[in-house]
Structure 1
Amino acid sequence: MNSTATQDFTSEFRDAMASVCTPVTVVTALDGARPHGTTVSAFASLSMNPPMVLVALDRGSDLLAVVREHGRFGINVLGHGQDGLALTFARKGSDKFDGIGWSLSAGVPRIDGAPGWVACSVADLVEGGDHVVVLGHVEHADRGDHPPLTYHRRTFGTHSAEQE
């Protein structure tokens, strides 16, 4: 493929993936006393026995380096109306936690008010293009009763049940 065809295909692929509704999460890890986090929509459950999840992190991210070094991470599943939080953690920089309430839970940062929570130890790291898929053994999980924050066609929204 020439570069124009490659750019066109990349754009088409990005548009196709934008039509897939995904959950919005903030993946966190702790480096000493310093919390790290980033917004991720590439998150899914993997196994019930044993309980496992997967999350894809950018190969060059600071968070991935912390997860590799410490072997633990948290997944804060965001709820409807928390798009500001998602945008805060989607940007670059080391000050993402400034002004954000959080606590240490199961050894990793848990963001105050995030309705869903999963704490994991790293089971495996799998190379996947410009990302690394982190497979995690779930060690702790909490759920909230808030509607989820979702991402679809490059906008935030939520899920609602179909009415019959």
Structure 2
Amino acid sequence: MHTKQLPSFRDVLGHFASGVTVVTGTDEHGPVGFTCQSFSSLSLDPPQIIVLPGRSSTSWPRIAAGGRFCVNILADHQGDISTTFATPGIDKFADVAWTRSPSGLPRLDETCAWLDCTVAEVHPGGDHRIVIGAVDDLGATLHTRPLLFHRGHYAGMTGLRHRPAR
């Protein structure tokens, strides 16, 4: 009798394509950031988002201490930036072009969009933290496509047509 091997939780969730962001902030040592796929809008009124940094993240506590962060939504040509910001123990900003957002946070160049946020709430969430960000400022670049992550690989969107949602 053969028993069917069930896929792992991680394998199943890998079938859901997600956008890729880099969450940035500053502390007394300078700019800090990390790659974060766990990002979503939460509310239109008031404008809020959620990010879910891992509990083992060494970057998030440094950002959280400042009470503000910037979510950089990566464009389809920025897979290398995602990989850089996912690598611990390196100077992540060394070879990455960035400017300051209106509130002074690191905003990466050539992204699809960015959101400056104030930390509104932080809740436990298993092996992650659930961070609710109140959106203070935002911006987007027209005609860019997002970087996606699907089944362990980066992907871009092809055939993307812009039309209003219903």
3-state SS in 2 of match to 1:58:
coil
Matched-pair contact (CA < 8 Å) for 1:119–1:139: yes
Higher strand share: 1
TM-score scaled by structure 2? Answer: 0.87
Shift of 1:58: 1.2
Alpha-carbon RMSD across the aligned residues, in angstroms, is 1.7
Q: Among residues 153, 157, 160, which one is paired with 2:158 in the alignment?
A: 160
3-state SS in 2 of match to 1:100:
coil
- CA distance in 2 between partners of 1:104 and 1:54 (Å): 22
Q: Among residues 75, 78, 96, which one is paired with 1:79 in the alignment?
A: 75
Note the 1:11-160 alignment, pairs <5 A: 12-32=8-28, 34-105=30-101, 106-145=103-142, 146-160=144-158
Q: Percent identity?
A: 35
Higher helix share: 1
Distance 1:33 1:101, change over 3 A: farther
Matched-pair contact (CA < 8 Å) for 1:30–1:36: yes
- CA distance in 1 between partners of 2:84 and 2:58 (Å): 15
3-state SS in 2 of match to 1:57:
coil
Q: What residue identity is the alignment partner of 1:150?
A: L
Matched-pair contact (CA < 8 Å) for 1:73–1:108: yes
TM-score scaled by structure 1? Answer: 0.88
3-state SS in 2 of match to 1:75:
strand
Matched-pair contact (CA < 8 Å) for 2:32–2:63: no
- Give 5+ residue unaligned stretches, structure 2: 162-166
Larger mean CA deviation between 135-144 and 27-36 belongs to 27-36
- Give 5+ residue unaligned stretches, structure 1: 1-7
Runs of 4+ with deviation above 4 angstroms: none
Q: Would you say how many aligned residue pairs link Structure 1 and Structure 2?
A: 155
